[in-house]
């Protein structure tokens, strides 16, 4: 039985005081939840304070990126040792916004994922097709390319530490959620691919989150699908009431 995982990706939102306010409210509401894994992923500058805020709660903290090199002259980058030194446990890697605006490729996703594992961080590796690719009937080709390219060279043991996130780009921030059937179809495709790449035990143990316009109103149906193991939430994770409601509704 895979434990569900609900993660909030705050993207480039929240000043320090807004982040503290959000965490205060989340702590009161869902700070004791243990039936699902709850993760919040603030921008780098708020990681330390968010870890502090999460002390004595069951909420874990994730970063939104990681550089693959160790310490060095890499202005503007943040390495694995820095993340673990402030208590970060997860890291989002290869989000479509990074693939689209910052030149992220399967190869760099692969390097970042290796660096995360080396430092004991749990990577949340994102894959997903854009609208043109879906309309051209290329969804499965793109997903196969993202999964195989991003996850090449890992052992079964590595894979068990990785969470995958299927985020159709056309459903991100658009209010257009993939139907639960559309999402399930791709999640099943990914699980079958993992079976071919590794083995049945690995494919069945790995968690695959859905992301793209997840709301309190659609999470229950999404996680009722056999291969959807939670959600990576953008916009609705920025308000305590909607994120807490998503966490609660994922347990129904």
146 as an active site residue: the answer is no
The interface mask with ligand 13P, positions 22-61, x = CB under 6 A, is: ----------------------------------------
> Among 245, 133, 127, which residue's Cα sits nearest to residue 186?
127
173 binds ligand 13P (CB under 6 A): yes
Please give the Cα distance from 247 to 239 (Å, whole number).
12
- Binding to ligand 13P, residues 89-148 (CB under 6 A): 95
Binder to ligand 13P among 62, 123, 212, 230 (CB under 6 A)? 212
Buried b (16+ CB within 10 A) or exposed e, 183-215: bbebbebbbebbeebbeeebbeebbbbbbbbbb
Binder to ligand 13P among 129, 167, 227, 229 (CB under 6 A)? 167
User: For residue 99, what are its two tokens?
Assistant: 């693939």
Among the residue ranges 65-73, 109-117, 129-137, 232-240, the one whose residues contact ligand 13P (CB under 6 A): 232-240
Please give the Cα distance from 115 to 70 (Å, whole number).
9
Q: What share of the chain is helix, strand, coil (3-state, %, to 5)?
A: 45, 15, 40
Name the residue nearer to ligand 13P (CB basis): 139 or 213. 213
CB of 72 to ligand 13P, least distance (A): 29
Please give the Cα distance from 160 to 149 (Å, whole number).
17
Catalytic residues: 95, 167
Summarize as ranges the residues that interact with ligand 13P (CB under 6 A): 9, 95, 167, 172-173, 211-214, 232-236
């Amino acid at each position: 039985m895979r434990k569900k995982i609900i993660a909030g990706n705050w993207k480039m939102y929240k000043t320090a005081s807004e982040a503290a306010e959000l965490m205060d409210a989340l702590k009161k509401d869902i700070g004791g939840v243990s039936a699902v894994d709850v993760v919040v992923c603030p921008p780098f500058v708020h990681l330390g304070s968010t870890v502090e805020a999460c002390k004595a709660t069951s909420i874990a903290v994730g970063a939104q990126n990681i550089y693959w090199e160790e310490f060095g002259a890499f202005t503007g980058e943040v390495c694995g040792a820095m993340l673990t030194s402030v208590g970060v446990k997860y890291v989002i890697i290869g989000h479509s916004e990074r693939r689209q605006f910052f030149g992220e490729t399967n190869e760099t996703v692969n390097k970042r994922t290796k660096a995360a594992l080396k430092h004991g961080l749990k990577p949340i590796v994102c894959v997903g097709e854009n609208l043109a690719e879906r309309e051209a009937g290329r969804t499965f080709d793109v997903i196969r390319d993202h999964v195989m390219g991003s996850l090449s060279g890992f052992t079964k043991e590595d894979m068990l530490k990785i969470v995958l996130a299927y985020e159709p780009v056309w459903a991100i921030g658009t209010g257009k959620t993939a139907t639960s059937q559309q999402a399930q179809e791709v999640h099943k495709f990914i699980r079958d691919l993992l079976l071919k790449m590794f083995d049945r035990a690995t494919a069945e143990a790995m968690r695959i989150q859905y992301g793209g316009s997840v709301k309190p109103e659609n999470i229950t149906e999404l996680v009722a699908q056999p291969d959807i193991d939670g959600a990576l939430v953008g916009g609705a994770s920025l308000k305590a009431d909607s994120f807490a409601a998503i966490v609660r509704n994922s347990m129904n």
